[in-house]
Amino acid sequence: MLSRLLSHVPHIIFKPAYDMYEDYLLERVKGGRIPNHVAIIMDGNRRWARKLEKPPWYGHLFGSQKLEEILEWCRELNIRTLTVYAFSTENFKRTPEEVNALMGLFEEKFKELLTDERVHKYGIRVNVLGRKELLPENVRKAAEEAERATRKYSSYTLNIALAYGGRSEIADAVKDIVRDALEGRIKPEDVDEELIKEYLYYPNMPDPDIVIRTGGEERISNFLLYQIAYSELFFVDVYFPEFRKIDFLRIIREYQKRQRRFGR
């Protein structure tokens, strides 16, 4: 019993100092340049669950709860757009048990968005980016209902990349451009970078200022390949369910120190 009590002592001792540092960072960040668009590769859910000797769905559940926290952090800093990588086209290759558990979680979360008072109070628009035709019908319908219910909102935007691949997005855009060119709606000389953006899954979405990947891996994994040409990249070692507000604030603070030249 005594050993269990003592195991909590460091947390009790250091929490006030942690809270003070978080408040200090928050004020410093608020006084600097705030990114308009943050994108996150939410990596490490399964490894976090494995560390706790739990099944993969356990990590994905806690990852979904972490996303809700991050939405609050973004709102607190007035970050207008958040894009998260939830499920790639390659993720369909995982075991049927894990894919089915994830699809059930996606359906549940989309339905929760419909009645979440924060979504309607703060005007959060939900967009689902990806090949939605690959999703089970129940998930696709829940996603489309969440999009319809929030389409009128414009204060904040939550983009969920689901059944998504950066190369697939570019390929699908090229197909649509070729089709419209063959049908005479556009001319070859009309095709430039801005026109291509009109054909992406979310037309004319602002490019991310920051891309964060949790979980310790340092690669993009086919995420927003067209949009992140000049984004600032940050890789952190913590698994996504363990990602803390202080980690988020440190990244924003580091972003504020960088000079974005855009090739100039």
Q: Along the 264 residues of the chain, how does pLDDT read in single tens digits? A: 444 444 444 555 567 788 899 999 999 999 999 999 999 999 999 999 999 999 999 999 999 999 999 999 999 999 999 999 999 999 999 999 999 999 999 999 999 999 999 999 999 999 999 999 999 999 999 999 999 999 999 999 999 999 999 999 999 999 999 999 999 999 999 999 999 999 999 999 999 999 999 999 999 999 999 999 999 999 999 999 999 999 999 999 999 999 877 666
**Roughly what angle, to the nearest 10 degrees, separates helices 96-115 and 137-150?**
30
Is 88 annotated for ligand binding?
yes
Is 130 annotated for ligand binding?
no
Q: Please report, in angstroms and rounded to a whole number, the separation of the first and last CA atoms in the chain.
A: 63
pTM given for the model? 0.91
Of 40, 112, 116, 102, the closest CA to residue 73 belongs to: 40
- Spatial distance between the Cα atoms of 212 and 247, rounded to a whole number of angstroms: 11
Tell me the two tokens of residue 167: 């190369």
Is 204 annotated for ligand binding?
no
3-state helix, strand, coil in the chain (%, to 5): 55, 15, 30
- By the 8 A CB rule, do 233 and 255 touch? no
pLDDT of amino acid 259: 83
Q: Please write down the HEC assignment for all residues of 1-52.
A: CHHHHHCCHHHHHHHHHHHHHHHHHHHHHHCCCCCCEEEEECCCHHHHHHHC
pLDDT of amino acid 14: 66
- Spatial distance between the Cα atoms of 5 and 3, rounded to a whole number of angstroms: 5
The structural domains of the chain, with segments of one domain joined by +, span 34-164+207-236
Is 220 annotated for ligand binding?
yes
- Spatial distance between the Cα atoms of 87 and 131, rounded to a whole number of angstroms: 11
Tell me the two tokens of residue 227: 């949009």
63-98: buried (b, 16+ CB within 10 Å) or exposed (e) per residue? bbebbeebbebbbebebbbbbbbbbbbebeeeeeee
Is 48 annotated for ligand binding?
yes
Cα three-residue angle 206-208-213, rounded to 5 degrees = 155
Is 176 annotated for ligand binding?
no
Cα-trace Rg, the chain: 20
CATH 3.40.1180.10 fits 34-164+207-236, yes or no: yes
Please give the positions annotated as active site: 43, 91
Which residues are bridge partners to 128 per DSSP? 160
CA distances from 4 to 1, 9, 11, 13, 34 (A): 5, 9, 13, 15, 42
Is 154 annotated for ligand binding?
no
